[in-house]
Structure 1
Amino acid sequence: MKRLQKLFVAICVMFAIMLTQVVTVSAAQTMTFDDLYMTLEISDDFIVLTPDTPKNDGRWAAAGIIQIDSKLKEFNDMGVKVLFYDKKSNTSVTMMVKDSSKTREIVNLVSMTDTELQEYFDSLVGKDSDTFVSTVEEYTHKQTPYFKLRLQSKEGESPVSEVVYGTIMNGKSIGFDIYKEGSYIQDKEEELVRSLVDNVSFTKILDASEITKESEIGIKDFITPILFILIIGVILFIFNKKNKKASQIKKKISQDMQEYRLNRRKLEEAGELTKEEALFTNSTEYHDQAIKTYCMYNQFFKRIGFWIYVIVLYLIILGYSLFFGTSIWMTIIVTIAGIVYGYYQGIAVEKMSEAMKKKYEGSRSKNAITKFYDDYFTVSGIQYISDFPYVQVTEVRKSKNYIYLYLGSEIAYFVDVTTFNKLEEENFMIFLKQRMGDKLKFKIR
């Protein structure tokens, strides 16, 4: 049995992967195979089993199949799309559908010349072994030539035989197979195969260009859900990572603030809290350009990693719409969506700028006086004097001549370092590095 199976597999080198689309059967026992552009009328006497038949379905037992998992594996390995079991004769016929570079090259047997057809048939017959012999001949069908391939043990050997009626249509090999051990296949059993073949009808015959187009559509259909899942996965990963990091920072700041206040309270109760001298004092004007520079930095450059992700995802989607057969309208929509999204990001910067300008319009001064002490800094001028412990700062960033002290993702105070002299600026940077540590998001020269 194993030797016969190996020989059959060798003959079927042209076959590739099994197509796993669901087969539909109507009440009138007409089976429809949409992926093959094929219908098949079958007798009510047949029990029909497919790779999608539930394991607890009683038809497995009715067909004499006990090892269902083993049979399903065989279906997968051999490319079996349907198994037909005839109750009267206790005979099984399998329908196998496979494709390969060879079948896609041939496309349809009906398009071949007599010479080409004979050469192909001859290629199916392997060399006779010491125990088996193989023969092939043409079987006439109303729409396409079929080959009848017979494998049979030689006289004196244990009787084993196999008959395959097959054709190539629309770039796929379609074969009806009957296999028997212990005795040779009888004509009445082979008649079951012929009855199936004779009732095959192809609703559409594709040419080579249509096969190529369908292959591209198949690739697109395969890639689309994977691409969608990847995009959703990346987005979820980014936001999950971002939210997790923000939660950790918030928790740490809360703990540090509690500890800071507790220490200050203890010093105050012990009478050890003395007035401190500012280590650095800075005056920064919150003029319109300074505000706009901050808003632009906060919206784009601070989030450069996020925008790289967005641009890459956008280019993937745009590339997909351009190179995988999507309609021109989809490409136009994707392009317009990208332009509109970019435009609204620009509007967001303007709105943020206007909101900040309005916020500081009523201030007594547009100059922020920022004083830096050992454990905290204070801001006055643009608001009532407020103190902020360094542990409350989430991050420190630099853009051009401005240092931004963030107290969250959106709130930051400006420090214009050009108001320092060169030595003060150098000392101030060293001071920031000592106090902020990893919160400092830029390198100091």
Structure 2
Amino acid sequence: MCECTDMSLDMKTPRNIYLSAFYKRSFAYHTVKNRMPVIITQLLDTLTRNKDSIVAEFGENSREDLKQVIGELSKFKYEVQTNKPLTKLVGEETDVRIYNDYIAKQASEEGETTHFNTIWLLAECYMYKRIKEMFTLTATLKDFDYFKSSKTEQYNQSIHLMDNLSQLVVDIIDNHETCDRKQAILKMLKLNLWGNKCDLSISLGKVEGPGQLHDIKALDQFILADDSEKIYQALITNDNNNIIDIVLDNSGYEVFTDLCLMDILTTFSLAKKIRFHVKAIPWFISDVMEKDFLWTLQQSKDCKNSYRQQLGSRWTEYLANGQWQVMVHHFWTCPYEFKFMSQFAPDLYELLTESKLVIFKGDLNYRKLFGEKNWDPTLSPEEALQGFLPAKLCTLRTIKADIVVGLKPGQAEICHKTDEKWMEKGDYGLIQFMSKLPKNV
């Protein structure tokens, strides 16, 4: 038994308390105790198995660097499993200072900051940032995307789904002047929601077929909150803000659905510019980086399917003419929830104030949006934002962590009776919209 189990309490996370592995009956505890070591182990296996191909790509000098990284990963895995303190990161970059200051702050307020006794969000984000540091400190592997092979495999597993969706989207585009605009957009919102099921950090890197994600009528029963109508009204409102921001989550099928939704909104002239926000470093295995985004466009443009090929060409043109823009910011890979954005990334916060609608995709963005606390499920999303509202916001998320807000009384209890792990599997979805903060915030 590892040292960490002696320090954790055998109880559920109390209401309104930060999620943490300190509470054994939480998904945070399961993540730190089981999932995080498995992710590190799988990365070790991938690097060992692909050692020769990595050296072939990055040169013979990378062989020693790879050996160094493998040793550091093994050491870090031991630190997590035995609940060692979070050590300071190395470097002068803004995000490094943010992490180190946060760790020091937690230590001063709560005692030694270890993997099991600190906020889950910090512990999990720190793992991915620490892994990146191991590669950054090498001479040859600074730019190596150690999750790329998993993302590529996930993409290839989804080709059939992408081909089918492409035909649907091209049909809407070709008939956009006569089709039912509202129904087309509402359908695309739901298709985009269910694309969020494809998350390699939840499947622990295991790539499986995405399943039947196009049968949205059958999946409607699993949407616990649906503000699609409010989102549609926000999209069609004519005001001075003609920009839509979308904060992306996963590569593969999900980002493909993001692109399809944004193409529909562009085709219907609901935004003059769409800004795609991506991660700066390899993140939570399958999160989208700029090169993943561009690779997806190129793959679509070069594929044999005529519908997907057509979309790939359209998207490439949108980027070229400035209608679409890919944006990278360090804050998206920081350990802070979004209520701190105006403090730690005022430039990003100011940018989002220009937006007609900011769309947050996926589970981690949801956790950051609503503050990583064990809220009462019936708490209003506006209250859970804790003051963060640079523009009208919406979130499209399948539930894969034990935090949820905005449900009707009794909904959470019914789901729990059906399946005690209903908040961990991504079976249930949320489409939520926020436009005004409560007066007391």
TM-score using structure 1 length: 0.18
Higher Cα Rg: structure 1 or 2? Answer: 1
The two structures have a TM-score, normalised by structure 2, of 0.18
* Greater RCO structure (CA 8 Å; 6+ sep): 2
